[in-house]
Amino acid sequence: MRKLSTIAAATTIAAMFAIQALAGPAGVGVSKPNAEPDAATIAELQEAGQQALRDGRNGNKNNAAFLRKNYEVNQLIDRLKKGDQVDPSEIDKALEPVHVP
């Protein structure tokens, strides 16, 4: 199941880059500060945040990295919902699993 969600996330991100590439040169488009956020991206980010919490509860209870990851993902979701511009690399990073040092 995890592999399937990883593939779905990678496909979504690849589609985002393809759409941006087909959109034309940078700076030509019209800025839409009140544009609706991508519901699929938000759903994937919400799942990533919930997964971090689940992973933290399953044998990693003393590791704050899982709580931090959930917080960072939720902050990114809030920015998307407000219509802020978000770098695709931030979304990629948010969809990655927690790396415990």
Domain coordinates in residue numbering, the chain: 2-95
DSSP string for residues in 63-98: -HHHHHHHHHHHHHHHHHHHT----HHHHHHHHSPP
Q: Which residue has the tokens 């969809």?
A: 95
If DSSP codes are grouped into helix, strand and coil, which group holds residue 7? helix
* Token reading at 10: 């990678």
Find out whether 95 and 69 touch, Cβ atoms under 8 Å: no
- Non-local (6+) Cβ contacts of 69 within 8 A are 48, 49, 52, 98
pTM assigned to the model: 0.56
54: left (phi over 0), alpha (psi -120 to 50) or beta: alpha
In terms of pLDDT, which residue wins out, 60 or 34? 60
pLDDT tens sequence across 50-97: 888 888 777 665 678 888 888 999 999 999 999 898 899 998 998 888
pLDDT(11) > 70: no
The confidence score (pLDDT) of residue 75 equals 93
